[in-house]
Amino acid sequence: MTSRTKLKIGDLELDEGLILAPMAGITDLSFRRIIKSFGADLVTSEMVSAEGLVRNRASTRFLINSHREEKPLSIQLFGSEPSVISEAACIVADEGADVIDLNMGCPVPKVLRQGAGAQLLREPKKIKEIVEAVRRVVSIPLTVKTRSGWSKSQINILEVARAVEDGGADAITIHPRTAKQGFSGKADWYVISQVKQTVTIPVIGNGDVTRPEQVSEMKQLTGCNGVMIGRGAMGNPWLFKQAKELARGERVSIPSVRERLEIMGRHLDLYKESLAGRQNLSGIRSRLMWYSKGLRGSARLRASLSGCRDWETMIKVCEDFFATLEE
């Protein structure tokens, strides 16, 4: 059993510091509500364009829709201009965000072309300017999520971490891969421990946490104050609950086939609710596939779903799949 220390970000206290990572196209309102119900201490929105918010684009404002069930909520912003990001920060603070997170690690080309995301790793001074600009206009907790550096030969995370702290951020999250790596290779958890030894603000670790025991492993190996979980939670919201059970020395609960089906159904209901009458077959198809990952016959299910042309048929195909597993 590991010691249970609470993560404090500004004036926000977060039990054991288990956080859902921001993931574009993934951490929408429905997914966040599901994850929160399984014990996440903080959930994070998809990456939101500061420029889009300031220009009041409907598609961007849709991303910050929230529900009381998911509180506390962190909204992640990306951009490159301090004045624009600070204006967007005021908007999300007024909309009820509990935390503002600044993306300084996204390696997606369209984000990099805007001088945002991981591109900022090349400009630690600008990172400080952005953090300072946001800190001046909002009082809610402010965090930064970043990577270890631009490339293997340009790892400057310690300089970046100091800039984040000096700018006034309340915590920093480290995904210990470089921008050039994307999501390939292995996350170097040692980098997290280096940052922990360099700054005094809380450090949150992220990367390659896909099993409940890895939460305590990351904390023990790096000394980090909290753990952020991303891709490992897709179709596996139980991961948060299981990690907390382990921390308490309890028996880890394993979801039955029936529970998987029930949670999948709940997720789909919330997804449809969040779409407000709009259709998104690709979105529902991907979410259905998440819950079958690793199960016997899941490849066959994915093939069947690809041929479905309406919601009802997709759901029926999945129900039949899980019924077969139960038998």
Task: List residues with catalytic annotation.
Answer: 106
Which token pair is 110? 């369209």
Regarding beta strands 7-9 and 43-49, do their DSSP bridges make them parallel or antiparallel, or are they unpaired? unpaired
Q: What is the C-alpha separation between 327 and 21, in angstroms, rounded? A: 36
H runs (alpha helix) in 107-188: 109-112, 124-137, 157-167
Q: How many residues does the chain have?
A: 327
Cis before 124 (ω within 30) = no
For the sheet containing 171-178, what is the strand order? 18-20, 226-229, 203-206, 171-178, 142-149, 99-104, 73-78, 43-49
C-alpha 161/C-alpha 167 separation (Å) is 10
Distance (Å, rounded) from C-alpha 65 to C-alpha 45? Answer: 9
Which of 49, 70, 75, 40 minimizes the C-alpha distance to 232? 40
How far, in Å, are 28, 73, 77, 112 from residue 48 at the CA level?
11, 14, 5, 14
Is the CB of residue 62 less than 8 Å from the CB of residue 25? no
